[in-house]
C-alpha cells in the first residue's frame, strides 16, 4: 500500500472513532406528539437511548389495570418503596431489556387515560445537581 493511502485510512479511522464516540454524549431525549399535533390524531411517545449501545434493546410491556387491591407495594432495585393506590390504570411501557444490572428502566410509558411520561432521560447528573440532590442509600433510582 502506498504511504498516502495508509495516511488517508488512518485519518478516516480516527474521524470515524471520534464521531462514533460523540453520539453517546448527546444524552437521552424524550419525544411526545399529542393528538392535535399528529396527522391522524394518534398520540405518540418515543425516546432515544444514548447511555450505551447495548442498553437500547427495548421490549414492550403491558401492565393490566388493577382494581380495589389495597396494600400493594412497589419496591425499586435500590430499596426505595412506596404504596400503590388501590386502583391503578392499565399502561404500556418500553422498558430496556437490560442485562447490564440497572433494573427495569421504564423509559416511556402511557396509561389507558392517555397520561404519558418518558423517564430515564439522564444517565448522569451534573456535579451541581448532585450537590443539591445527592443520591441516598435506599433512594429512588431511574430503574423504576
Question: For all residues of the chain together, what is the average pLDDT?
Answer: 75
Q: Which of 81, 86, 89, 28 is nearest to 62 (CA)?
A: 89
Residue 109 among the catalytic residues: no
Residue range 95-110: average pLDDT?
69
Which residues are CB-contacts of 30 (< 8 A; sequence separation ≥ 6)?
45, 46, 47, 108, 118, 121
Per-residue cell: 26: 448527546
Residue 56 and residue 123: Cα distance in Å, rounded?
A: 13
pLDDT tier for residue 125 given thresholds of 50, 70 and 90: low
CB burial class (10 A; 0-12, 13-18, 19+) of residue 48?
Answer: middle
Q: What percent of the chain has pLDDT over 70?
A: 56
- Greater model confidence, 138 or 64: 64
pLDDT tier for residue 90 given thresholds of 50, 70 and 90: very high
pLDDT tier for residue 93 given thresholds of 50, 70 and 90: confident
- Greater model confidence, 72 or 9: 72
How many angstroms separate the Cα of 94 from the Cα of each of 8, 37, 121, 132, 144? 43, 22, 13, 30, 12
pLDDT tens-digit map of 1-52: 576 676 766 666 666 665 555 444 556 777 788 889 889 998 888 777 776 6
pLDDT at 60 (0 to 100): 82
Catalytic residue among 5, 19, 26, 28: 28
Residue 73 and residue 84: Cα distance in Å, rounded?
A: 6
- Greater model confidence, 113 or 52: 113
Amino acid at each position: 500500500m502506498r504511504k498516502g493511502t495508509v495516511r488517508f485510512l488512518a485519518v478516516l479511522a480516527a474521524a470515524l472513532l471520534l464521531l462514533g464516540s460523540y453520539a453517546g454524549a448527546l444524552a437521552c431525549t424524550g419525544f411526545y406528539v399529542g393528538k392535535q399535533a399528529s396527522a391522524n390524531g394518534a398520540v405518540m411517545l418515543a425516546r432515544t437511548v444514548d447511555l450505551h449501545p447495548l442498553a437500547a434493546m427495548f421490549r414492550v410491556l403491558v401492565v393490566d389495570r388493577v382494581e380495589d387491591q389495597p396494600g400493594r407495594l412497589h419496591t425499586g432495585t435500590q430499596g426505595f418503596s412506596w404504596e400503590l393506590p388501590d386502583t391503578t390504570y392499565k399502561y404500556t411501557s418500553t422498558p430496556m431489556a437490560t442485562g447490564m444490572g440497572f433494573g427495569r428502566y421504564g423509559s416511556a410509558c402511557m396509561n389507558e387515560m392517555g397520561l404519558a411520561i418518558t423517564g430515564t432521560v439522564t444517565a448522569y447528573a451534573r456535579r451541581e445537581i448532585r450537590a443539591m440532590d445527592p443520591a441516598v442509600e435506599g433512594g429512588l433510582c431511574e430503574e423504576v
